[in-house]
Amino acid sequence: MTRFASPVRYVGGKGINCGRASALLGSSVILTGFLGGYFGGMIQDMLQNENLFDLHFLPIAEESRGAVTIMHDGETQTELVEAGPKIADATIKKLMNDIKQISKNNYLSVITINGSVNNQDPFLYAKLLQYIKEQIDPSTYILMDISGQHLREVLASKYKPMFIKPNIHEFSDIIHQKITQKSDIKHHLKTNPLFKDIDVIMVSCGSYGAVVKVKEEFWNVEIPKIPITNTTGSGDATVGGFAHS
């Protein structure tokens, strides 16, 4: 048995972390997604208490997922993340309609699509991107922080997001080749047709910073060395900063 002295309960998730960063920078932020059960109610209440967002979550019967982050000595951590409730196609369509309704009452200059959903359709995010472009506003900036097969299908689809942010491991997965050097990232961003027509691509490399491609221009991002308390949500906050800017 391991006992710990300083547990912290915190509302997170990629979309929430991203929205929180944008809101703290001064943006007006609307959060949507799915909440259900005891955890869903707790998340709703805690977000309301933050008083940073407009909340438009869709209620579901199943329990919202939780995650446990264990911080170790030596600036490492272990994350235990539940798969979460399965989200049916009909519920996804309801979310799409809800986003459309939100857009009728609010000017949405940027929409961020963050994280994973427990749904077996590999084309889900590509369909959501198409829906926004065709049914809501083709000029809306779409920022996507997704990975795996969902990201591959988006990259191969007709419509492209304005921004993506895979980390170096997710980038390796996309191109089916292990990448360890920033120079290799730049090479593949230049030559692989998968990455064509996306204005901003940021490949994060942990403590080594990131490689950012802005249209045809490349930036090598280096970050200062600081004592690490908790890295959870750092990439999400980066997306929130881009959304605000």
Domain ranges of the chain: 14-244
pTM passes above 0.85? yes
pLDDT tens sequence across 176-219: 999 999 999 999 999 999 999 999 999 999 889 999 999 999 99
**DSSP secondary structure, 176-245, as one string:** TS----HHHHHHHHHH-GGGTT-SEEEEE-GGG-EEEEETTEEEEE-------S--TTHHHHHHHHHHH-
Tell me what pLDDT residue 72 has: 76
Q: How confident is the model at residue 89 (pLDDT cuts 50, 70, 90)?
A: very high
Of 207, 158, 156, the C-alpha closest to 182 is: 207
Q: Which pair of structure tokens corresponds to residue 26?
A: 């001064």
| CA distance readout (Å), 71 to 1, 7, 68, 188, 205 | 16, 10, 10, 34, 20
- At 94, the pLDDT band (50, 70, 90 cuts) reads very high
φ, ψ at 11 (rounded to 5°):
-85, 125
Whether 74 has a pLDDT exceeding 70, the answer reads: no
Reduced to 3 states, what is the DSSP secondary structure of residue 37? Answer: helix
From CA 110, how far away is CA 89, in angstroms rounded?
24
Instruction: Decide which of 1.20.120.80, 3.40.1190.20, 3.40.1180.10, 3.30.70.20 is the CATH code for 14-244.
Output: 3.40.1190.20
Q: Which residues of 168-179 are buried (b: 16+ CB within 10 A; e: fewer)?
A: bebbbbbbeeeb
Q: Coil, strand or helix: which one is 137?
A: coil
